Amino acid sequence: MNILLKSAKIVCPENKELHLKTRDILIKKGIIEKIGAKIESPANTKLLDLENLHVSLGWFDSGVSFGEPGFEERETIANGLYVAGKSGFTDIVLNPNTQPVPDTSSNVVFLKERGLGKPTNIHPLGTLTKNAEGVDLAELFDMKNAGAVAYYDFKRQISNANLLKIALLYAQNFGGLVYSFPQDGSIKGHGVAHEGEVSTILGLKGIPALAEELQIARDLFILEYTGGKLHIPTISTAGSVKLIANAKKKGLDVSCSVAIHNLFFTDETLKGFDTHFKVSPPLRTKSDTKALIKGLKDGSIDFVTTDHIPMDVEHKRVEFDNAKNGSLGLESAFGSLNTLFELDETISFLTQGRARFGVACPKLEEGAEANLTLFNPEGTYTFEDKDILSTSKNSMYLGAELKGKVYGIINNDQIVL
């Protein structure tokens, strides 16, 4: 496929010569052939002349859930990857939030094969333990050879400290990245919302910041003892930011992410008992949100994630205590980040993270494979049902004012618009 992007403003801080320059970009058979001030459209070329067109390197998300296999009614891999592409993402790390969970190489191969030939690349996570039960390590080395980029018992704490120690020691033999979800279940108990003024007023059982910070402190002590590579997904408290920043100053190989909704919303939104806002970790306070934003800007937090979790209506249209955790996040990711940050920052946050997972980093230059996201950063709109492309409709962003729209992606010699 041949494509000519007309008058595209390039947002690529890594390329000083092209950053914020308006250029035509000619793509032939998936390769960027020419970048110039004015390029005439060759024959048999698809011309894209979109309003206020901006282009960046393709976006990356380190934490997306679909449903297949086991929960196809929530989302299939095929439609999920289409949603990711329409939302601007050319690469996604797939959470092991399925049934059965991917705890063997054959499970990982199945997921990789389901993503073949799609515009958005899929990078599966395997579980850390068999059946994600936290008892015995899964086939970590075999899964790495099959294409798993890291190991995660999705949203489940590693309660056995010795198991995490052994996992970190063993995974060093092949450079494996080990996840540890930041939540101590014994302190969380039956909590469903951040422990604070709002949960007290609403009569909801609270999850204290201590539940997250105690788990992180333990994990960092273990990492200091063992060495290895540790990733802590979706931190949510100011104390967590400090703990990880201090660990990095010590030279520990630790990374972390923050869910975009924990930057955009606080626990104040729970006052309507809307189960779309029930997530794990929970929405926290304004002071936590400020600390997370600061940590993202200064590098204490390594990257953002949509923490996209489709959930069928039967598990959301119930009492708050009984509802399952999770919200959609792909469709609203750019609009929410672009509301909170300057455009340069937003694009940097959306493009970083690949190296941590051993995923090849694209380049925006002549001769490189076209791995691009197309968008218009201007204009505000109210996020509505029509903006949801996922099979499930459980988005906490419904009614939110967002800024900017995504046109789509160009990747793998394919285009999604």
Tell me the mean pLDDT in the region 19-43.
95
pTM of the model: 0.96
Asked if residue 245 lies in contact with residue 239, where contact means CB atoms within 8 angstroms, the answer is no
Q: State yes or no: cis peptide before 377, omega within 30 of 0.
A: no
**Cβ(210)–Cβ(238) under 8 Å?**
no
Q: What is the mean pLDDT of the chain?
A: 97
pLDDT band at 214 (very low <50, low <70, confident <90, very high): very high
Q: Name the H helices within 21-74.
A: none
Q: Which two tokens stand for residue 103?
A: 């705890």
pLDDT, position 256: 98
Q: Which residues pair with 357 in a beta bridge?
A: none
What pLDDT score was predicted for residue 95?
98
Averaged pLDDT, 118-127: 98
Domain positions in the chain are: 59-357
Task: Count CB-CB contacts under 10 A for residue 238.
Answer: 20
- Choice among 219, 288, 302, 307 that is catalytic: 307
Least confident among 15-19, 180-184, 259-263, 383-387:
15-19
Rounded to 5 degrees, φ, ψ at 120 are: -95, 130
CATH code of the region 59-357: 3.20.20.140
- Is residue 307 flagged as an active site residue? yes
Residue 217 pLDDT exceeds 90:
yes
pLDDT per position as a tens digit, 143-169: 999 999 999 999 999 999 999 999 999
Mean pLDDT over 53-68 rounds to 97
Geometric angle at alpha carbon 329, from 59 and 7, rounded to 5°:
40
Distance CA 244, CA 232 (A): 9
How far is Cα 147 from Cα 124, in angstroms, rounded to an integer?
Answer: 7
Where does residue 391 rank: exposed (0-12), middle (13-18), buried (19+ CB within 10 A)?
A: middle
